[in-house]
A and B are shown apart, each in its own frame.
Chain A
Amino acid sequence: MSDFEPKIVVYACNWCTYAATDLAGTSRMSYPENVRIIRVMCSGRVDPQFVLQAFADGADGVIVAGCHPPADCHYLEGNYKAYRRFELFRKLLESFGIEKERFRLEWISAAEASRWVQVVNEMVAELKKLGPLKKNLEVKE
Chain B
Amino acid sequence: MTEKPKVAWYWCASCGGCEESFVDLAERLLKVFEAVDIVFCPVAMDFKREDVEKLPDGSITVALINGGIRLKEHEEMVKLLRKKSKIVIAYGACSAWGGIPGLANLYNLDEVIERKYLEVPTVENPKEVMPTKKTIVNIPEAGIKAEIELTEPLPVLLPLDKVIDVDYYIPGCPPTPDVFWNALQALLSGNLPPKGSVIGASQKSVCDECPLNETKPEKILVKEFKRPDKAMAKPNECLLAQGFLCMGPVTRGGCKSLCPQANMPCTGCFGMLDGIVDFGGKAISYFGSILDYSPLEEREIKDAYEKVPDWVGVVYRYSLAASKLGHKARLKKVERIKEVTEI
B295 close to A83 (CB less than 8 A) = yes
B318 to chain A, nearest CB (A): 16
Q: Does B289 reach chain A (CB closer than 8 Å)?
A: yes
Q: Does A89 reach chain B (CB closer than 8 Å)?
A: yes
Give chain A residues whose Cβ lies under 8 Å from the Cβ of B294. Answer: 69-70, 77, 80
Chain A residue nearest to B327 in the complex (CB): A139
Q: Does B130 reach chain A (CB closer than 8 Å)?
A: no
A92 close to B301 (CB less than 8 A) = no
Contact of A95 among B288, B311, B333 (CB under 8 A): B311
List A78-96 residues whose CB lies under 8 Å from chain B: 79-81, 83-89, 91-92, 95-96
Chain B residue nearest to A89 in the complex (CB): B284
Instruction: Please tell me the size bucket of the interface on A.
Output: 20 to 34
* Surface stretch bound by A, among B31-39, B228-236, B274-282: B274-282
B325 close to A96 (CB less than 8 A) = yes
A90 to chain B, nearest CB (A): 9
Q: Does A125 reach chain B (CB closer than 8 Å)?
A: no
Contact of A96 among B106, B282, B287 (CB under 8 A): B106
A81 close to B325 (CB less than 8 A) = no
Give chain A residues whose Cβ lies under 8 Å from the Cβ of B333. Answer: 140-141
* Surface stretch bound by B, among A14-22, A24-32, A52-60: A52-60
A81-B288, A92-B284, A141-B155 in contact; A52/B278 too (CB < 8 A)?
Answer: yes
Give chain B residues whose Cβ lies under 8 Å from the Cβ of A141. Answer: 155, 333
Q: How far is the CA of A77 from the CA of B289 in the complex (A)?
A: 11
List B228-285 residues whose CB lies under 8 Å from chain A: 276-278, 280-282, 284-285
B305 close to A88 (CB less than 8 A) = yes
A140 close to B331 (CB less than 8 A) = yes
> Do most interface residues of chain A lie in helix, strand or loop, or is the interface mixed?
helix
Q: How far is the CA of A16 from the CA of B294 in the complex (A)?
A: 19
B281 close to A47 (CB less than 8 A) = yes
Give chain B residues whose Cβ lies under 8 Å from the Cβ of A53. Answer: 277-278, 324
A92 close to B280 (CB less than 8 A) = yes
Contact of B106 among A51, A87, A95 (CB under 8 A): A95
Give chain B residues whose Cβ lies under 8 Å from the Cβ of A51. Answer: 281
- Residue of B295, B311, B315 with most partner-chain A CB within 10 A: B295
B305 close to A95 (CB less than 8 A) = no
B311 close to A92 (CB less than 8 A) = yes
A49-B277, A53-B278, A85-B284 in contact; A140/B311 too (CB < 8 A)?
Answer: no
Q: Does B156 reach chain A (CB closer than 8 Å)?
A: yes
Q: Does B184 reach chain A (CB closer than 8 Å)?
A: no
Contact of A139 among B106, B155, B285, B315 (CB under 8 A): B155
Give chain B residues whose Cβ lies under 8 Å from the Cβ of A133. Answer: 329
Q: How far is the CA of A133 from the CA of B325 in the complex (A)?
A: 11
Q: Does B296 reach chain A (CB closer than 8 Å)?
A: yes
A47-B282, A92-B312 in contact; A84/B289 too (CB < 8 A)?
Answer: yes
- Residue of B281, B291, B333 with most partner-chain A CB within 10 A: B281
A96-B106, A97-B329 in contact; A52/B323 too (CB < 8 A)?
Answer: yes
Q: Does B54 reach chain A (CB closer than 8 Å)?
A: no
Q: Does A136 reach chain B (CB closer than 8 Å)?
A: yes
